[in-house]
């Protein structure tokens, strides 16, 4: 039987009150899980390897500082060397969001500056060229998505990611931004019972 990742990470026991609540949104439950499967155990990997998918996940979850969810995705990343490189990238680039600039105009008063992605050369080398090119884009998506621009996509494409790979990469980061929040929110709700 497939383990429902959100139930597992929240600690929802079958027959519990939280189980009953999730059962009232059955399609959300089923398809949150199917989204996870489509991104992390897909029938076809297309252009993005399993190691890349889990390395991006470990980076995103690490940047959020959610320990249990991070431990789950770390299990999916087979390479110790890659896991160490991702952990180093997290340590060097973790910050607080959301920040970023609005289109120039009345909203500019709300612009909030924040750090740009930067890692040391050893970390970039250990990530390899494809992930080293993708991580600045991932960092922006996590912390300052309103700063997105086509130049950021172009940099990732130039490292060998295709248009379709970039859709998958964007979905991995965006889906995790959802899953991390559902898990954290449900954990709080469960314990506030």
Segment 40-99, which members bind other proteins (CB under 8 A)? 42-43, 46, 63-66, 96-98
For residues 42 and 76, give the distance between their C-alpha atoms in angstroms, rounded to a whole number.
Answer: 14
- In order of 99, 101, 102, 105, the CA distances from 110 in angstroms are 9, 8, 7, 10
Q: How many residues does the chain have?
A: 193
Q: How far is the CB of 127 from other proteins (least distance, A)?
A: 20
Q: How far is the CB of 172 from other proteins (least distance, A)?
A: 9
Residues near other proteins (CB under 8 A), total: 73
Q: How far is the CB of 18 from other proteins (least distance, A)?
A: 8
CB nearer to other proteins: pick between 20 and 122: 20
Binding of residue 35 to other proteins (CB under 8 A): yes
- Beta partners for residue 100, in sequence order: 112
User: Which residues 126-145 are close enough to bind other proteins by CB under 8 A?
Assistant: 137, 140-143, 145
Scanning 29-37, 74-82, 115-123, 128-136 for contacts with other proteins by CB under 8 A, the matching segment is 29-37
For residues 120 and 148, give the distance between their C-alpha atoms in angstroms, rounded to a whole number.
Answer: 23
The 8-class DSSP code of residue 145 comes to: G
Binding of residue 25 to other proteins (CB under 8 A): yes
Q: How far is the CB of 122 from other proteins (least distance, A)?
A: 26
For residues 7 and 12, give the distance between their C-alpha atoms in angstroms, rounded to a whole number.
Answer: 5
Residue 57 is encoded by which pair of tokens?
Answer: 């996940």
């Amino acid at each position: 039987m497939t383990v429902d990742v959100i139930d597992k990470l929240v600690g929802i026991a079958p027959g519990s009150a939280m189980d009953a609540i999730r059962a009232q949104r059955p399609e959300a439950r089923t398809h949150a899980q199917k989204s996870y499967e489509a991104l992390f155990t897909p029938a076809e990997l297309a252009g993005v390897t399993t190691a890349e998918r889990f390395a991006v996940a470990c980076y995103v979850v690490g940047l959020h500082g959610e320990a249990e969810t991070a431990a789950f995705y770390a299990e999916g990343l087979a390479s110790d060397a890659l896991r160490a490189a991702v952990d180093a990238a997290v340590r060097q680039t973790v910050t607080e969001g959301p920040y970023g600039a609005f289109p120039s105009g009345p909203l500019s008063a709300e612009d909030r500056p924040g750090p740009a992605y930067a890692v040391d050369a050893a970390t970039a080398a250990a990530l390899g060229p494809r992930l080293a090119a993708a991580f600045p884009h991932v960092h922006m998506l996590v912390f300052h998505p309103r700063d997105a621009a086509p130049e950021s996509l172009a940099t990732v494409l130039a490292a060998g990611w295709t248009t379709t790979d970039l859709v998958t990469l964007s979905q991995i980061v965006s889906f995790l931004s959802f899953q991390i929040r559902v898990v954290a929110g449900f954990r709080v709700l469960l314990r506030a019972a």
